[in-house]
Structure 1
Amino acid sequence: MQERYDASAVETRWQQTWADQKTFKVSEISDKVKYYLLEMFPYPSGRIHMGHVRNYSIGDVIARFKRLQGYNVLHPMGWDAFGMPAENAAIQHGTHPAKWTHENIANMRTQLKRMGFSYDWDRELATCDVEYYKWEQLIFLKMYERGLAYKKSSFVNWCPDCQTVLANEQVEDDCCWRCDSEVQQKELEQWFFKITDYAQELLDGTDRLPGWPEPVLTMQRNWIGRSTGCEIDFPLEGSMQKIRVFTTRQDTLFGATFMSLAPEHPLALELTTAAQRGAVEAFLAKVGKQDKLRRTADDLEKEGVFTGSFCINPVTRKRMPVYLANFVLMDYGTGAVMAVPTHDQRDFEFAGKYGLEKVVVIQPEGEVLDPGSMEGAWTGSGIMVHSGTFDGLDNEEAKERIADYLAVEGIGKKTVNYRLRDWGVSRQRYWGNPIPIIYCDLCGAVPVPEKDLPVVLPTDVSLTGEGGSPLAKSSDFVHVSCPQCGEAARRETDTFDTFVESSWYFARYACPDFPSAPIDRQAAEYWLPVDQYIGGIEHAVMHLLYARFFTKVLRDLGLMEVDEPFSNLLTQGMVCMETRSCPEHGWLYPEQVLDGNCSFCGKGAVTGRNEKMSKSKKNVVDPDGLIDRFGADTARLFSLFAAPPEKDLEWNEQGVEGCYRFLNRVWRAVFDNLPIIQETNADGEIGAEAKVLRRQTHRTIKKVTEDIDGRFHFNTAISAIMELVNAIYSFKDKDGAPAVLREGLETVVRLLAPFVPHIAEELWISLGHGAPLEESGWPSWDESALIEDEILIVVQVNGKVRGKITVPADADEEFVRTAALNDENVQRFLEGKSVRKVVVVPGRLVSVVAG
């Protein structure tokens, strides 16, 4: 064993050993209990960042811990490799997305291996490989057969810069989630997955996922958005047509005075009179530039335009003007809202702005509301008024009575509505999975026959960055014969949303080389569901919801049996760092700041707040540089020690150096004590100091085990190991108890193994073990070693601490009481007073009341 800790040499040696021996390769042929640990796979951007380091270090601790506990651990890695960044980079740099992507994968694979993560690299997959996406095409065809995939014309979120459609979940604050461009509304023919067919099952499932964080489940419940109410038909004046609304407040129907339609409603232009056409078209153009989710915000200014048409309230028979309103969405309900200004705040504001009638139909108990003097809508409960035969009823009772009345009269019916909309999966870009559909003028949309799969993404497509799908300009790709009639036809040129690939990759990891189907049922039955999934909460209503939906579809297609993909979910916090900037040169990388000044101009650098590490603000740390200086184990240790996994981690250079010093202390502790612990220790009693060290050794095993197992309190587990190292350094009776010292040192190494595996393996071998630490198993604690011979008791006099006594651990109450009263310091505070009461709290405290 070398005296000096050489992180680079140690880590290189063990990484090569693990690769040569395929240490982490697993199969379902095992008598061990399975444990499937998975982190969300990365997009191959070309470089890993500190967020990757933290996320994958968290997962690796759990994987290694479970492996040491005797589990058969599946811990795979792959690449979410399709998507717009590769295509944009290809356009920018004049390369091909496939070349750019595979070069990035190779680079990131090297970086991840350098971190020492325990992946089964034999299961590696990339979603851009035809051997992966061909099976996705087959899944699509099966969904198409069952009506779960369909095409329709709809208004969609359109990013003008990325030149593609975005799902609702991919629009953030009116902007594209990738490029921050302002999103527009555009009508296109699009492919959809019928996720709404599974809305109730997805909602019910949130109550059966106790291993998921409640905030994620709440976000999914709100996104699914189940509501119960009524569908009601409002006849159009002068027409046989009707406007159908969905409402949860049928008790307010008698107060409906106008109708609000979504600007995207199919009747919007049809109902527009000639006199109103100019105003309506200007309004539609304005709303078309607004994000749909932003339009529902409470603080949004309520705007609309009169169509010129009227509908009839089916219970009051009053004429109701039909407006288009910016706060009504086609994506919710029917895209039409009966407006009740006195009992809905949005309608109240809208009616006030456009001078529309207000009618009170619910009076709060003990009050009389006047529509002319109301300052806001009354949305609480009360007694029905101006509501015909329902007057005098409590409004909650009236809801049921009115719902029954509507059904009897054929005006409406009870129904359930969901906020969740079907998932639009068409994307007008090249670098994605081709949708396997052919269009024939005679036969219509024809699925590509299974025997003709895969539809391979061509490599000779010209990428210009201009609008529309580049595939549409590839004649060889587009022009084909119809599989049904043989006549000339054309391929679909849209590709799948990349979230489709990430919705089932976890299942393919169970059988990455299976040649006969997307999923090997036998392998899936063994490995699925994923026991522990790790990733960011930002995916709560995108990837995580889509993965749950896809799992249920794959189950119903007979490809696997599980209902949910992930039994437990850990959402890790972000890695944050203060920003630095120069008034002249803008954002600065950390290495561009020297002695507090900009390295370009020498002006003082401005220190900003701690924010998520991002290349745009240059507050990033290069993991390779960190490894070069300190080693991968130090990088891992800091990312795990600086904050609990679910909290944000604030980058701290001093913290990194502290972790490096600690690993050097551990190395030195083993090196310095190797000559001593080679000696054998004769059986017999050990001294008091040795008992204390042994007690702390076993306490540490217990605490670290409990902190890791299910709780993931890695920071407190590491802190406990640090305390044990301090105790070893303070231990004086080394020659008298070498076995106790060896046990302490070996325990430190074994407990550190999941966190810093390279140095742990090296020290384990240095301690004289022939087999790798990986085969030693996880240490267990001895309950008898935790029992203390003596305990420290705090003594209070009139509520203030006045002394501390040491008593035998098994001392009875009378002995403790007497010892407390006889303590010299306690007696000083009892002088001249009489003891009125003594309370003994076993093992902790003696409270004396004196006066």
Structure 2
Amino acid sequence: MSTAYNHKTVEKKWQKYWQENETFKTDVWDFSKPKYYALDMFPYPSGVGLHAGHPEGYTATDIMSRMKRMQGYNVLHPMGYDSFGLPAEQYAVTTGNHPAEFTQKNIATFSKQLRELGFDYDWSKMIATSDPKFYKWTQWIFKKLYEAGYAKHIDMPVNWCEELGTVLSNDEVIDGKSERGGYPVVRKNMKQWVIDQPAFAEKLLEGLEEIDWPESTKDMQRNWIGKSTGVEVEFEIVDGGKFSIFTTCIETIYGITFMVLAPDGEIVKSLMDRVENKEEVEAYIAETAKKNDFDRTELNKTKSGCRLEGIYCINPVNGKKVPLFIGDFVLASYGTGAVMAVPSHDQRDFEYAIAHNIDMIQVIEGADVSEHAFEKQDYLGKGCKLINSEEFTGLTVEEAKVAITKKLVDMGVAKETVNYHFREWIFARQRYWGEPVPCVYKEDGEIYFLPDEELPLILPPLDDYKGKNGKAPLENAVEWKQYDKNGIKGVRETATMPGSAGSSWYYMRYIDPDNDKEFANQELLKHWMPVDLYVGGPEHAVGHLMYSRIWNRFLYDQGLSPVKEPFKKLVHQGMILGENGIKMGKRFPEFVVNPSDIVEEYGADTLRLYEMFMGPIEVSKPWNSDAVQGAYRFIKRVWAFFTDEEKIVDENDNTLTKIYHQTVKKVTNDFEELGYNTAIAQMMTFVNEVYKAGKCPKEYAENFIKMFSCICPHVGEEIWQILGHNDTIAFEKWPEYDESKMVEDTIKVPVQINGKTKAVVELPADVSKDDAILAGKEAIADKLTGNVVKEIYVPGRIINIVMK
């Protein structure tokens, strides 16, 4: 008889064993086996610790890495911490303590919780982005980006959050507020470090075709890059000056009745001395400055703006004067900062024209442009013809695109070009707790990057961690700021890098985390990259996942990364919701689940099993406390049978042969596709059959426990030992299945009369047509009361007797 299952004793025993024996430490120089690199999006070590959503994705990669190890792969499954960020800095501001103390304490808490969940991480390779040994190389890569011309220091409008005292990137602003804290964000001109994302646009688009990612994520990246092919046209300003616009609808150029410029753009600044309504324009510009990009675009329902009185440009196709307006929906940071307006054929332009009483010219047939009838229509489609367009009248839209473009190009005022929605990645933060930018502003104004031997540039301790009046906290480090070495005098940059800097390349550092000579050994990178499986949330689609692809592609182009794309396969885990079906959080604290509570009451294996059995990994699912108890009961059921030596036998009477091979096949295939819920269902079916049989051949028992141990590693290790083994189960050979052992001996076939089922017969799987029909007719002999006109047998499906 087996002893009762005690999860606390079992789990502590094996966690201690794994830690003392470094069971999951990977020899990255062992090239004798195929490699498998499984990776989780590493967490920020908050003071709250793990929540119920963390274990879901982590368990998914853990199961995969355990299976791959048994299949003979050399598995790398590391863990680390994205440890720079605002919470630690806010803690420092509040308490006066260095944020490193707060961060280290949280890392220790997270690591303890992760160990308690039994994950097979190689802890010898742990990294933290706030560790100078790590961020030395973040600084080094940024320096390389600068030297290659991709990192730039420019004056530009930025998202400024007064409450947080820092600049925010576009993906850190949600509905006009900071992602963290929900504070107001406004636009402000500042000198900023940026990375030229558009320079990588085509390479990023091409790379999406090579990777196994969810199509929804690929589409989000394509839309974020926003490639459009069109024509850039130059417009002369009356009495001097010029500007350009980009359009994908050059065929509508004869319908231009006004132009709209960005209020905060350089074009408007250059015209202010000539504007007749200067006070009105300046007031509108000041009002625009209070809005962020989201307010100016997504939320812009009023079509606000004002006329630049006395200013006109010339339409190059017909020489007509066109009035200029400013409107806050046009952004200086996007495109040319100017748009042509054709209100007859564009919804936004139409609404603006109505709001400002501007004329309209219809240039494509079929549109009704009256104020009340206008709706967005597909009248620019194939076959529509131009009107009111001089020599191009009568041409189709497609013909006109070509002909008008040629005319403008021949005139020397236009060129065909590609435009992107993609903008520069703002790479400076007025914060303390981030990587210092390793450069100095020399006395002559030139930028000087520190030589490699002076890296890392380490953050200095401060008495005051709060920035003031838009200035970075490092402005308070008076002595640290001053630089005087090797004949170079100047002042250090006091902005720091964003939290996304370290996470853009950390996946490479895991491979060689202690290397002080290079960010990672090139031979190791060639062997281990790309990451085979990357699991994390979909909310990172146009943030971290885009940034990582950019940094990796830059390093690839520099000959420093062996792969064009860093993550071969990407899987997004769904959200685990509260029992009310709503996202866990402060609003419903009674529904927040602390994984430590589940581990204490039921064990880590129960939590792992339950979260994998909730449903497909990609789908969001509500928590169910009753189902947690069901997972616990199943573990105890497995324990009770497979630790009972009387039930594990040497002989095999083949009672379980078919279900055993079916189980090995389905679990193997489902694990490969991360279909853990259906794999567990198959394991439950096998256990049910084992209980019915009352005994199980030892070979089948051991191989079942190997598979089961990937999900429930503590129980698996303990049962493995009870079955007579002294070593860990982690490196045992993965079970194989035999297709021939799964063939059904008999089949059940419905017997119909005129398409209506009257009986079911059990037949040999290889039964002939004649024998099948004969058996079917015998089964319904008492119902065959008419004339048989046809006998049909669909192999394995139906027997149908057609009668009159």
TM-score, normalised with respect to structure 2: 0.96
**1:460 and 2:465 aligned:** no
Shift of 1:369: 4.8
Of 789, 796, 801, 1:843 maps to 796
Q: Deviations over 1:99-148 (max 9, x none)?
A: 00000000100000111100111110100000000111111112111111
CA distance 1:195–1:372, change in 2 (3 Å):
closer
Which residue of 1 is the match for residue 680 of structure 2?
718
Q: Which moved more, 1:650-659 or 1:550-559?
A: 550-559
Q: Deviations over 1:482-509 (max 9, x none)?
A: 65x444x211000001111100000111
One-letter amino acid of the structure 2 residue matched with residue 611 of structure 1: I
Q: Deviations over 1:188-224 (max 9, x none)?
A: 0000112221111111111222x11000000011111
- Checking the alignment, whether the CA contact within 8 Å between 1:510 and 1:524 is kept in structure 2 is yes
One-letter amino acid of the structure 2 residue matched with residue 276 of structure 1: N
Shift of 1:726: 0.8
- Checking the alignment, whether the CA contact within 8 Å between 1:725 and 1:748 is kept in structure 2 is no
Q: Distance in 2 between matches of 1:707 and 1:753?
A: 15
CA distance 1:479–1:298, change in 2 (3 Å):
closer
Which residue of 2 is the match for residue 19 of structure 1?
19
- Checking the alignment, whether the CA contact within 8 Å between 2:156 and 2:333 is kept in structure 1 is no
Q: Distance in 2 between matches of 1:221 and 1:293?
A: 20
Which residue of 2 is the match for residue 472 of structure 1?
475
Of 724, 731, 734, 1:778 maps to 734
Unaligned runs of 5+ in 2: none
**1:798 and 2:798 aligned:** no
CA distance 1:724–1:813, change in 2 (3 Å):
same
Ranked by relative contact order (alpha carbons within 8 Å, sequence separation 6 or more), the top structure is: 2
Once the two structures are superposed, the pairs formed by residues 358-757 of structure 1 within 5 Å of their partners are 358-364=360-366, 369=368, 374-376=373-375, 379-381=379-381, 382-464=384-466, 466-467=468-469, 468-481=471-484, 483=486, 485-487=487-489, 489-578=490-579, 609-615=580-586, 617-618=588-589, 619-672=591-644, 674-678=645-649, 680-681=650-651, 686=653, 690-691=654-655, 693-709=656-672, 711-732=673-694, 734=695, 740-757=696-713
- Checking the alignment, whether the CA contact within 8 Å between 1:184 and 1:289 is kept in structure 2 is yes
One-letter amino acid of the structure 2 residue matched with residue 651 of structure 1: W
- Checking the alignment, whether the CA contact within 8 Å between 2:315 and 2:322 is kept in structure 1 is yes
One-letter amino acid of the structure 2 residue matched with residue 731 of structure 1: A
- Checking the alignment, whether the CA contact within 8 Å between 2:750 and 2:799 is kept in structure 1 is yes
Shift of 1:725: 0.6
**1:247 and 2:203 aligned:** no
CA distance 1:805–1:67, change in 2 (3 Å):
same
- Checking the alignment, whether the CA contact within 8 Å between 1:633 and 1:757 is kept in structure 2 is yes
Q: Distance in 1 between matches of 2:784 and 2:103?
A: 82
Q: Distance in 2 between matches of 1:616 and 1:116?
A: 31
Q: Distance in 1 between matches of 2:572 and 2:8?
A: 31
Which residue of 1 is the match for residue 257 of structure 2?
257
- Checking the alignment, whether the CA contact within 8 Å between 2:431 and 2:467 is kept in structure 1 is no
- Checking the alignment, whether the CA contact within 8 Å between 2:99 and 2:433 is kept in structure 1 is yes
Q: Distance in 2 between matches of 1:615 and 1:34?
A: 42
Q: Deviations over 1:449-477 (max 9, x none)?
A: 22222211012341246443110111021
One-letter amino acid of the structure 1 residue matched with residue 665 of structure 2: K
Q: Distance in 2 between matches of 1:751 and 1:276?
A: 77
Shift of 1:332: 2.6
Q: Deviations over 1:541-586 (max 9, x none)?
A: 11111101100111222322211000110011111014xxxxxxxx
Q: Distance in 1 between matches of 2:691 and 2:371?
A: 81
Q: Distance in 1 between matches of 2:631 and 2:496?
A: 47
Q: Which moved more, 1:19-28 or 1:48-57?
A: 19-28
Q: Distance in 1 between matches of 2:467 and 2:54?
A: 30
CA distance 1:617–1:90, change in 2 (3 Å):
farther
CA distance 1:350–1:793, change in 2 (3 Å):
same
Shift of 1:518: 1.3
TM-score, normalised with respect to structure 1: 0.91
Q: Deviations over 1:727-777 (max 9, x none)?
A: 111115x4xxxxx54344333312212111110111111112333222321
Shift of 1:408: 0.7
Q: Distance in 2 between matches of 1:157 and 1:795?
A: 72
Q: Distance in 1 between matches of 2:647 and 2:7?
A: 25
Which residue of 1 is the match for residue 765 of structure 2?
809
Of 753, 758, 770, 2:714 maps to 758
Which residue of 2 is the match for residue 322 of structure 1?
324
Shift of 1:55: 1.3
Q: Distance in 2 between matches of 1:796 and 1:559?
A: 69
CA distance 1:299–1:440, change in 2 (3 Å):
closer
CA distance 1:264–1:299, change in 2 (3 Å):
closer
One-letter amino acid of the structure 1 residue matched with residue 727 of structure 2: A
CA distance 1:835–1:298, change in 2 (3 Å):
farther
CA distance 1:33–1:849, change in 2 (3 Å):
same
- Checking the alignment, whether the CA contact within 8 Å between 1:440 and 1:490 is kept in structure 2 is yes
Shift of 1:261: 1.1
Q: Distance in 2 between matches of 1:454 and 1:771?
A: 43
CA distance 1:321–1:23, change in 2 (3 Å):
same
Which residue of 2 is the match for residue 602 of structure 1?
none
Shift of 1:517: 1.1
RMSD: 1.9
Q: Deviations over 1:140-189 (max 9, x none)?
A: 11211111111001001111221111111221111111111121111100
Q: Deviations over 1:23-80 (max 9, x none)?
A: 1111232311001100100000130111111110111011111111111111000000
- Checking the alignment, whether the CA contact within 8 Å between 1:261 and 1:337 is kept in structure 2 is yes
**1:349 and 2:351 aligned:** yes
Q: Distance in 1 between matches of 2:388 and 2:664?
A: 73
Q: Distance in 1 between matches of 2:731 and 2:453?
A: 47
One-letter amino acid of the structure 2 residue matched with residue 20 of structure 1: E
Q: Distance in 2 between matches of 1:301 and 1:416?
A: 30
Which residue of 2 is the match for residue 184 of structure 1?
186
Q: Secondary structure at the match of 1:36?
A: strand
Alignment size in residue pairs: 795
